[in-house]
Amino acid sequence: MVASPFRLSIIDYLNAAPLNHGFKHGLGWEHFHLKFHYPSACADRLRAGEVDAGIVSSIEYLRIPDLRIVPGLCIASPKRVRSVMILSKVPPEQIRSLALDTTSRTSVVLAQLLLRERYGVTPVAVDMGPDLPAMLEANDAALMIGDAAMRAPKQGLFVLDLAEEWHAWTGLPFVFALWLVRKDAPELPLPGGVAPFFHKSLEIGLAQLPAIVEEARRTIGWTKIELHEYLTENISYTLGEAERESLALFFEKAVRHGFAPGLKPLQFL
């Protein structure tokens, strides 16, 4: 046992399930203490030092000091994501008010960047819980994220898939989240330290995709084929060269629009 356990913040969204799977099923149980949060709460706990690492909205790397990125891993979308979208009663260039599901902070920034730079509108943004009828009752459009977005009825609405919009604009994948570790996190007295556990957890998750899909089928309602396609084609877990290029571009735009205090180089574990 290490003197103090390594505190991990775990997200229960489907897109993070393969990354979390090993940890949730006992990987490194003697080293890790798991805490379950939605993405924005995960970032707040990381900032406060209440956890040592978490899967965190990528924009938070610029906002929280002294973080390190687990190399090679992320939650990204190569082209179309299907779980992060603006649902609108009017065409995008006519959106004047936007309800924001604030459970994911990267998506909140991306939605506003796309509307400003691609569609030439700066709608009034209102933070709301992920309740689509309530969001659209008071606003032209709503940003929906994660499992709630996957379940949301879309008939009669304009649908902007944010990763698809980003790809059409930049030709790049979009990186929604990163495994981020505090600089003062406990050292694990093992070869390679903590980093190999993150990769092993994903490896276990990918080997158990049928079980993850079966569980999601009961809660989300998509077919097994749709869910398998989502986890293997719409979502990618590799932080490669194109993903790093995309992060740099997103960070530059976010800082220019005042969504983050300033740029800093990517620092890895």
- pLDDT tier for residue 192 given thresholds of 50, 70 and 90: confident
What is d(CA 198, CA 268) in angstroms, rounded to the nearest whole number?
13
How large is the greatest C-alpha to C-alpha distance in the chain, in angstroms?
58
pLDDT in tens, 43-73: 999 999 999 999 999 999 999 999 999 999 9
Which secondary-structure segment (H or E) carries 179?
Answer: strand 174-182
pTM here is 0.95
- pLDDT tier for residue 34 given thresholds of 50, 70 and 90: very high
When pLDDT is averaged across residues 221-228 and rounded to a whole number, the result is 94
Query: Can you read off the two tokens belonging to residue 182?
Result: 């505090």
- pLDDT tier for residue 231 given thresholds of 50, 70 and 90: very high
Give the 3-state secondary structure of 31-67.
CEEEEEECHHHHHHHHHHCCCCEEEEECCHHHHCCCE
Percentage, residues of the chain above pLDDT 90? 87
SS3 194: coil
Which secondary-structure segment (H or E) carries 121?
Answer: none
141-145 and 84-88 strand pairing: antiparallel
When pLDDT is averaged across residues 148-158 and rounded to a whole number, the result is 93
Judge residue 171's burial from the number of C-beta atoms within 10 Å of its C-beta, 0-12 exposed, 13-18 middle, 19 or more buried. exposed
SS3 127: strand
> What letter does residue 27 receive in the DSSP assignment?
T
Q: How much is the pLDDT for 2?
A: 42
Calculate the average pLDDT of the chain: 95
* Residue 97 clears pLDDT 60, i.e. is over it: yes
Residue type, 198: F
* Residue 1 clears pLDDT 50, i.e. is over it: no
Q: How much is the pLDDT for 3?
A: 62
